[in-house]
Structure 1
Amino acid sequence: MTVTYVIDGSEVTGLERFWEVIGEAVNGAGGYFGRGLDSFADCLRGGMGTPDDGDFAIEWRDHDLSARALGHEETTRHLRGLLGRAHPSNLPRLRQELARAEAGVGPTLFDRLLEIIREETAPGTLRLR
């Protein structure tokens, strides 16, 4: 039986709030389901609250509101935060991504989250509503 985790897109006001919303959707109040893009991908692979057989769905309601909240402005903020702790070999790539986000072009955090969900779960797991 498929377990469905619901993300209320109207609750997602930025990346930090997304981590709280997805954590609570999967693991209840105060629940954890990643606090970074890499840890989120790890959690989607299993063992962090989802069924062992991988039979689950993520229903992202009002995803258009989340797309705005996790758009280029939030992507810019996130990338600026990464600059101070990134390995020097990653700085050129990060600076390039930051320049694109500041110009309002390129993938956003919302785009990246969708990409991670689609890469790490079975086809049809993500349901945008």
Structure 2
Amino acid sequence: MTVTYVIDGAEVTDLDRFWQVIGAAVNGPGGYFGRNLDALADCLHGGYGTPDDGDFVIEWRRHELSRRSLGQEETARTLQRRLARAHPDNRAALQARLDEVRAGRGSTVFDELVRLIEEEAPGVLRLN
């Protein structure tokens, strides 16, 4: 039997809030389901609250609200935070990405989350 986890796009106001919302959807209030992209990828492979057989769906309702909240502005903010603590060898690439986002180009945090979920758990994500 397929288990459905619901994310309400109205609750996703920034990336930090996304981690809280998806954690609560899968594992209840205060639950964990990743706090960065690598951790989310691990969680999508099972053992972090989803059924052992992998029969689950993440239904992202009102996802267009999240798309706006996790758009260019939030992407720039997230990249700026990463840049501040990045290894010197990674700073140039992060700065270039930040410059692109500030110019209104490139993928957003929302795009990256959707891409990751679709790659790591094909067929799981339903955008409504």
Task: Output the TM-score relative to the length of structure 2.
Answer: 0.97
Q: CA RMSD in A?
A: 0.8
Q: Which residue of 1 aligns with 2:24?
A: 24
Q: Secondary structure at the match of 1:6?
A: strand
Tell me which stretches of 4 or more aligned residues in structure 1 moved more than 6 Å: none
What letter corresponds to residue 51 of structure 1 in structure 2? Answer: P
Supply the distance in 1 between the matched residues of 2:94 and 2:50 (Cα, whole angstroms).
32
Task: Output the TM-score relative to the length of structure 1.
Answer: 0.96
Supply the distance in 1 between the matched residues of 2:124 and 2:94 (Cα, whole angstroms).
30
Q: Could you list the runs of 5+ residues in structure 1 that have no partner in the other structure?
A: none
What letter corresponds to residue 91 of structure 1 in structure 2? Answer: R
Supply the distance in 2 between the matched residues of 1:89 and 1:119 (Cα, whole angstroms).
27
Report the alpha carbon displacement of residue 85 of structure 1 after superposing the two structures with TM: 1.5
Does the alignment pair 1:124 with 2:123?
yes
Report the alpha carbon displacement of residue 67 of structure 1 after superposing the two structures with TM: 0.1
Q: Which residue of 1 aligns with 2:97?
A: 97
Which deviations, in whole Å up to 9, do the C-alpha atoms of 1:9-35 show, x marking residues without a partner?
010000010000000000001101111
Please list, as runs of the form range in 1=range in 2, the aligned pairs for 1:1-129 lying within 5 A after superposition. 1-121=1-121, 123-129=122-128
Identity among equivalent positions (%) equals 65
What letter corresponds to residue 125 of structure 1 in structure 2? Answer: V
Which deviations, in whole Å up to 9, do the C-alpha atoms of 1:19-56 show, x marking residues without a partner?
00000000001101111111111111111101111110
Report the alpha carbon displacement of residue 59 of structure 1 after superposing the two structures with TM: 0.4
Aligned residues: 128
Q: Which moved more, 1:62-71 or 1:85-94?
A: 85-94
What letter corresponds to residue 123 of structure 2 in structure 1? Answer: G
Which deviations, in whole Å up to 9, do the C-alpha atoms of 1:96-127 show, x marking residues without a partner?
11001111110000000001100110x32110
